[in-house]
Homo-oligomer: A and B are copies of this chain.
């Protein structure tokens, strides 16, 4: 990570500085997208928040859509272990494992905030929806579907995800009662058989 010879004023920055700057831009981008959503965030705003020139944002990431995709991938990382939760035991317990895993991610404010920001952007902006679609379909649902070995495995995974994301929206965003104040164990107990049904019922 170090050892690049410094002193150049133009061209690529040395490696250590490069990784550092890239991380700083990415952190600023996550913050901006979280707070403002996709539409109101600009490359210029991200650059300003990171304390760099907008050209550097383009240099490291490309377009606003590409910055968003990288920021989303980082924010989404905790949820991307869901396929491992699916694989971590027998298929007849998959409903409970998946419901517990996903609501564990939602219940933790540190992992919830960036996920909420993604869902909000995806629901209100077509470009953000496309990024969400690629990520959720490609890196999450398809990796769950291949473990099912059933017809319509992808449709099954999507409907299970729709239940889990829908319940999270109602609880954490719309704050519908009694769901918003319900005990997490009660929610997992109610969602587990339904997720199980989607994923494995004949």
Contacts and interface: CB of A to CB of B under 8 A. Distances in A.
A190 B155 contact: yes
Interface residues of A, number: 43
Q: Count identical subunits in the complex.
A: 2
A155 B201 CA distance: 24
Contacts of A169: 123, 162, 165-166
A32 to B, nearest CB: 16
B161 A163 contact: no
Interface string A159-202: 10111111101100111111100100010001101100110010
Given A175-B133, A176-B133, A170 B197 contact: no
A137 B175 CA distance: 10
A96 interface: no
A193 B197 contact: yes
A87 interface: no
Interface of A: 37, 119-120, 122-124, 129, 132-133, 136-137, 141, 152, 154-156, 158-159, 161-167, 169-170, 173-179, 182, 186, 190-191, 193-194, 197-198, 201
Given A120-B123, A152-B178, A162-B169, 11 more contacts: A123-B169, A129-B173, A137-B176, A141-B176, A158-B170, A158-B176, A158-B178, A159-B190, A162-B170, A194-B198, A197-B197
